[in-house]
Chain A
Amino acid sequence: MGLFQLLIRRCLQLVPILIGISIVVFALVRLTPGDPARLLVGPRVAEEVLVEIRQRYGLDQPLPIQYARYVGQLIIGDLGHSFRYKIPVSQLIFNHLPPTLFLVCYAIVLTLIPTLILATVAARRQGQWPDHVIRVIGVAGMTMPVFWLGIMMSRLFGVSLGWFPVSGYGEGFVDHLHHLFLPAVSTAIWVTPILVRNLRSALLEEMDSDYVLAARSKGLPEGYIFRRHILGNSLLPTLHLLGVLVAYLLGGTVIVETVYAVPGLGQLMINSVLARDYFVIQGLTLYFALATVLVTFAVDVATAAIDPRVKL
Chain B
Amino acid sequence: MKAIGRSLLALAVCITMFGAAAMAQTTIRMATPYKATVLDPTKSAAAGEIELFGQLYARLLRRSADGKLEPGLAESWEVSDDGKKFVFRLREAKFSDGSPLTAADVAFSLSRALGEGSAYPAPFSAIESVEAEDERTVVVNLKAPAAPFLGYMEIFNAGIVSKADVEARGPEKAFTENPVTSGPFMVKEWKPNDRLILERNPHYWRTGHPKVDQVALIEVADTNTRIAMLQGGEIDVARDAPFAQVGELDASDKIDVPLHPSTVIYMTLLNHGRAPFNDIRVRQAAAHALDVSALTKAVTHGHATPANTTLPEALLFHHKDYPGISQDVAKAKALLAEAGAPQGEAVIMVTAGSVLSEQLAVLIQAQWAAVGLKSKIEKVDVGLWWDRLTTGDYDAAPSWWYNETEDPDLAARWALCGACGNKSFYTNYNNETVNQLTEQALNEIDPEKRKALYIRMQEISTEEVSQIPLYYPPYTNAYSTRVKGLMLSPALQWNFEDAEIVE
Contact = CB atoms under 8 A, between A and B. Distances in A.
A96 B18 contact: no
Contacts of B122: 44, 46
B221 A35 contact: no
Interface in A257-283: 258-261, 263, 267-268, 271, 273-276
Contact of B228 (A167, A263, A268, A276): A167
Give the interface centre of A42, A155, A174 by most chain B CB atoms within 10 Å: A42
B221 A258 contact: yes
A286 B225 CA distance: 30
Interface in B203-230: 218, 220-222, 224-225, 228-229
Nearest to A185: B8
Given A85-B193, A258-B222, A162 B232 contact: yes
Nearest to B353: A274
Interface in A152-190: 154-155, 158-159, 162-170, 174-175, 177-178, 181
Given A45-B120, A86-B172, A258-B222, A163 B12 contact: yes
A263 B194 contact: yes
Contacts of A169: 194
A232 to B, nearest CB: 23
A174 B19 CA distance: 8
Contacts of A273: 381
A24 B231 CA distance: 44
Give the interface centre of B38, B119, B172, B192 by most chain A CB atoms within 10 Å: B192
A268 B390 CA distance: 27
A41 B46 contact: yes
Given A34-B381, A87-B192, A263-B191, A45 B15 contact: no
Contacts of B293: none
A261 B222 contact: yes
Interface string A38-81: 11111111111100100000000000000000000000000000
A166 to B, nearest CB: 4
Interface in A115-159: 117, 151, 154-155, 158-159
Contacts of A244: none
A161 to B, nearest CB: 10
Contacts of B194: 95-96, 169, 263
Contacts of A47: 421
Contacts of A168: 218, 229, 234
Given A42-B49, A45-B120, A274 B381 contact: yes
Given A44-B414, A178-B18, A263-B191, A274 B383 contact: yes
A229 interface: no
B452 interface: no
A34 B382 CA distance: 8
A268 B37 CA distance: 13
B117 interface: yes
Interface in B1-29: 1, 4, 12, 15-16, 18-19
A39 B384 CA distance: 10
Contact of A87 (B16, B47, B119, B176): B176
Contacts of A221: none
Contacts of A117: 1, 4
A45 B119 contact: yes
Contact of A33 (B15, B193, B384): B384
Given A168-B218, A178-B19, A260-B225, A95 B45 contact: no
Contact of B220 (A46, A167, A175, A178): A167
A96 B387 contact: no
Given A42-B47, A177-B15, A35 B386 contact: yes
A33 B384 CA distance: 6
A119 B222 CA distance: 37
A35 B387 contact: yes
Nearest to B121: A46
A47 to B, nearest CB: 7
B43 interface: yes
A105 interface: no
B193 A263 contact: yes
Contacts of A92: 192-193
A113 interface: yes
A8 B19 CA distance: 46
Contact of B15 (A34, A113, A174): A174
Q: Is the interface of A mostly helix, strand, loop or mixed?
A: helix
A84 interface: yes
A168 B229 CA distance: 9
A154 B228 contact: yes
Contacts of B111: none
A251 interface: no
Contacts of B401: 43
A252 interface: no
B44 interface: yes
A105 to B, nearest CB: 16
Nearest to A38: B386
A168 B19 CA distance: 13
A48 B191 CA distance: 30
A65 to B, nearest CB: 23
B3 to A, nearest CB: 9
Give the interface centre of B12, B116, B118, B194 by most chain A CB atoms within 10 Å: B194
Contacts of B232: 158-159, 162, 165-166
B193 A163 contact: no
Nearest to B47: A42
Interface in B92-151: 116-122
Nearest to A258: B222
Contact of B45 (A44, A274, A276): A44
A45 to B, nearest CB: 5
A59 B390 CA distance: 19
Given A84-B37, A164-B12, A261-B225, A40 B117 contact: no
A147 to B, nearest CB: 10
B435 interface: no
Contact of B37 (A40, A52, A95, A181): A40
Contacts of A261: 220-222, 225, 229
A42 B229 contact: no
B431 interface: no
A175 B19 contact: yes
B176 A43 contact: no
B19 A165 contact: yes
A33 to B, nearest CB: 5
B422 interface: yes
A117 B4 CA distance: 10
B117 A181 contact: no
Given A42-B45, A85-B37, A166-B229, 9 more contacts: A34-B382, A39-B386, A41-B44, A46-B120, A46-B121, A82-B192, A167-B234, A271-B35, A274-B383
> Which 10 residue pairs across A and B have the least CB separation, nearest first?
A34-B383, A42-B46, A263-B194, A42-B45, A85-B192, A166-B228, A84-B37, A178-B15, A41-B119, A261-B220
25 contacts: A33-B387, A34-B382, A34-B387, A41-B119, A43-B401, A52-B117, A84-B38, A85-B37, A85-B192, A86-B176, A92-B193, A117-B1, A117-B4, A154-B228, A158-B228, A162-B232, A165-B19, A165-B229, A166-B234, A167-B220, A174-B15, A178-B15, A261-B225, A263-B193, A276-B383
